[in-house]
């Protein structure tokens, strides 16, 4: 069973993109709508806050550099926390209005994957999933998406997981780790009415942990898509999960206050916080982007 052992008392409008740095033993996440990036030191319980030049949907650590590879609302680039400028790598021509980058993660081979989302869901699903290679070039791998979410891989990198939140569906693809190609999409899991699959991660045993926006749960799925366990949370809008701590057996869960009524906020005063759970299984360290262009 999972045990809630700590709460990081922030009031994020839309906390997201949580990532654990195994080298520095620090936790990173973003508040997309507030245009802020956070770094947390669990030893001194200190939080550093950085203003970002655009809304920051997701990011990854970069090998040999203090910079991040960051999926801002209009494109992907290198970002030094606290800087005013972005070293752009890719700014795709979206071909439609109301799109921005959302969820993203680095694969174990050092490539950065990030997906866009349609902010006006009355429009056609015109978002897409991108892969950014070591030379900074971006290529499209999935189209016809509404809200990209839940990007992660099985421990052996043979499976790729990706969710389209409004469809309440998590998809599984075959993953060619050497080529960075996905194929043979199938449905991994459907979520119940009112539960929208958001950020996800995979543990050392190959089970997928998915934050369910709107349902106040983190759900652990077995490799065959069967539900293994739930974490019932004190907030209704969990957004993303990351394994961290010295033994990678802590689960950090971001959350959001966006769209909640005044009555809802009274019932869940910790909405927007980051929650820390001790879980009975360890995770895997997040990958680091390997770049031909990044400078320390």
Count of structural domains, the chain: 1
Domain interval for residue 9: 3-289
pLDDT tens track for 152-199: 999 999 999 999 999 999 999 999 999 999 999 999 999 999 999 999
Does residue 208 sit within a domain?
yes
Active site (annotated) includes residue 247: no
In the block, tokens 């939080």 appear at: 47
Does residue 294 sit within a domain?
no
DSSP H or E run through 267: helix 262-267
What is the token pair recorded at 290?
């390997």
d(CA 12, CA 272) in angstroms, rounded, equals 4
Does residue 128 sit within a domain?
yes
Does residue 19 sit within a domain?
yes
- The one catalytic residue among 198, 203, 258, 286: 198
Does residue 131 sit within a domain?
yes
CATH number of the domain that residue 43 is part of: 2.120.10.30
Grouping H, G, I as helix, E, B as strand and the rest as coil, residue 6 is strand
- Pairing relationship of beta strands 56-62 and 288-289 according to DSSP bridges: parallel
pLDDT tens track for 236-291: 999 999 999 999 999 999 999 999 999 999 999 999 999 999 999 999 999 999 99
Does residue 230 sit within a domain?
yes
* Cβ neighbours for 64, distance < 8 A, ≥ 6 positions apart: 294, 296
Does residue 295 sit within a domain?
no
pLDDT tens track for 189-235: 999 999 999 999 999 999 999 999 999 999 999 999 999 999 999 99
* pTM greater than 0.75 (yes/no): yes
pLDDT tens track for 65-113: 999 999 999 999 999 999 999 999 999 887 667 899 999 999 999 999 9
């Amino acid at each position: 069973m999972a045990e809630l052992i700590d709460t990081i008392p922030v009031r994020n409008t839309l906390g997201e993109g949580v990532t654990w740095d195994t080298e520095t033993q620090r936790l990173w996440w973003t508040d997309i709508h507030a245009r802020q990036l956070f770094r947390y030191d669990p030893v001194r319980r200190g939080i550093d806050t950085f203003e970002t030049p655009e809304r920051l949907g997701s990011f990854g650590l970069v090998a040999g550099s203090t910079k991040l590879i960051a999926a801002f609302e209009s494109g992907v680039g290198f970002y030094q926390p606290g800087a005013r400028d972005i070293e752009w790598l890719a700014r795709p021509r979206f071909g439609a209005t109301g799109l921005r980058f959302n969820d993203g993660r680095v694969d174990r081979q050092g490539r950065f994957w990030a997906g866009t989302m349609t902010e006006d869901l009355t429009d056609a699903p015109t978002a897409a999933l991108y892969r950014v290679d070591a030379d900074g070039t971006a290529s499209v791998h999935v189209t016809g998406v509404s809200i990209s979410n839940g990007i992660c891989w099985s421990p052996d990198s043979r499976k790729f997981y990706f969710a389209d939140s409004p469809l309440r569906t998590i998809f599984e693809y075959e993953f060619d780790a050497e080529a960075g190609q996905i194929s043979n999409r199938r449905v991994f899991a459907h979520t119940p009415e009112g539960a929208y699959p958001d950020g996800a991660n995979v543990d050392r045993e190959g089970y997928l942990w998915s934050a369910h926006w709107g349902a106040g749960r983190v759900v652990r799925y077995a490799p065959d898509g069967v539900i293994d366990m739930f974490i019932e949370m004190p907030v209704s809008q969990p957004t993303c999960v990351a394994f961290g701590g010295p033994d990678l057996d802590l689960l950090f869960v971001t959350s959001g206050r966006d769209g909640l009524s005044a009555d809802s906020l009274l019932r869940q005063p910790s909405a927007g916080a980051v929650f820390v759970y001790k879980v009975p299984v360890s995770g895997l360290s997040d990958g680091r982007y390997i770049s031909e262009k990044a400078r320390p």
